[in-house]
Amino acid sequence: MDIVAPLVKTGVISEAANLWLAIPIGFIFGFGLYHAGFTDSRRIARAFYLKDVGVPVVMFAAIVTGMLGLWLLSLIGFIDTSHMYYLPTYLKPMAVGGLLFGVGMAVGGFCPGTAAASVATGRVDAMVFVVGFLGGSILFGDLFPVWGDFYNSDYRGVYRLDELFGMNIGSVVLILVIASVAGSLFMRLGQHYFWPTPQEEGLAPAQVLKYEVPLVVLALAIAGVMAVFPTERFLNNSASSWYIIQKQALPAPAQPPRVKATSRVEEHPQPALAPKPAGAEGC
């Protein structure tokens, strides 16, 4: 949880509690994936053909929920974003990796997280996919000297959209919420126009609107208020993160304390040596 919720670093929970929390969080995450349809490889694959846009719509909803939730928790002081890890950008390697990831997801119908959740449901295709990506990970590690230089190339630091475009961070959040809502609506309209789905396969449009419209209005309202809210607390950099805008140097190793010379007479002085006999200086 240290990446998204640095509760250990801020002293809210202990290291042991942080590890134990992974179990219920994993069950909740898998439960959500299952009921969102993400454990069905056919549904995920249909998203790439725009036959079923439920997967990208859920992802848009997760982005908006996570973004607004993180901001609100930061503003009330529950999460200190200065302790969070900000993923740096390696542009070309990430572009190639994203392309390979997308091809694999389109062909296999899973990503690592959805595949693990699908294995719990007993799906054989998910088990094959897990074996495949584990084997690929081992191969990537074994052959890392071959492409290691490319993997670490084209470093661009940490990008934040408000700094990139010179805008207030609240305005950027509002724009992203509007873009997510608009993108979801356009994809839904496109699916309905090109690939109409029988109503028995899902909720009727009226039912969908009944559940989604209040949530969309709430997200837009929160983002609108946050667009004019002071953001100094959210951007608190009192404790620097490992990555901010550019890579920071490793801290210098601690040096052992140096003992200062003193002129005090030792409490237990050594006994005086007996004088040498005459003529013994040359011995």
Residues 24 and 66 in one domain: yes
Q: Containing domain of residue 23, as a range?
A: 1-87+158-248
Co-location of 77 and 184 in the same domain: yes
pLDDT tens digits for 223-264? 888 777 655 545 554 444 333 333 344 445 445 545 444 444
Do residues 58 and 162 both lie within one domain?
A: yes
Report the sign of the C-alpha dihedral through residues 188, 192, 197, 201, in that order.
Answer: positive
Q: What is the pLDDT of residue 258?
A: 54
Does one domain contain both 132 and 172? Answer: no
Backbone angles phi, psi at 28, to 5 degrees: -65, -40
Q: In total, how many domains does the chain have?
A: 2
> Do 121 and 15 belong to one domain?
no
Task: Tell me whether residue 74 is in a domain.
Answer: yes
Q: Looking at the predicted structure, is the pLDDT value of residue 23 above 70?
A: yes
Indicate whether 148 pLDDT > 70. Answer: yes
Do 1 and 138 share a domain, yes or no? Answer: no
- Token code pair at residue 201: 């396969």
Task: Identify which of 66-70, 234-238, 269-273 has the greatest average pLDDT.
Answer: 66-70
- The verdict on 166 and 76 lying in the same domain is yes
29-39 pLDDT tens trace? 888 888 878 88
17 vs 1 pLDDT, higher one: 17
Is residue 73 located within the same domain as residue 208?
A: yes
Of the residues 136, 156, 176, which one is the last residue of a structural domain?
156
Q: Using DSSP, state whether 90 is helix, strand or coil.
A: strand
> Are 190 and 76 in the same domain?
yes
Q: What is the rounded average pLDDT for all residues in the chain?
A: 75
Q: Three-state SS across 6-37?
A: CCCCCCCCCHHHHHHCHHHHHHHHHHHHHHHC
Residue 278 within any structural domain of the chain: no
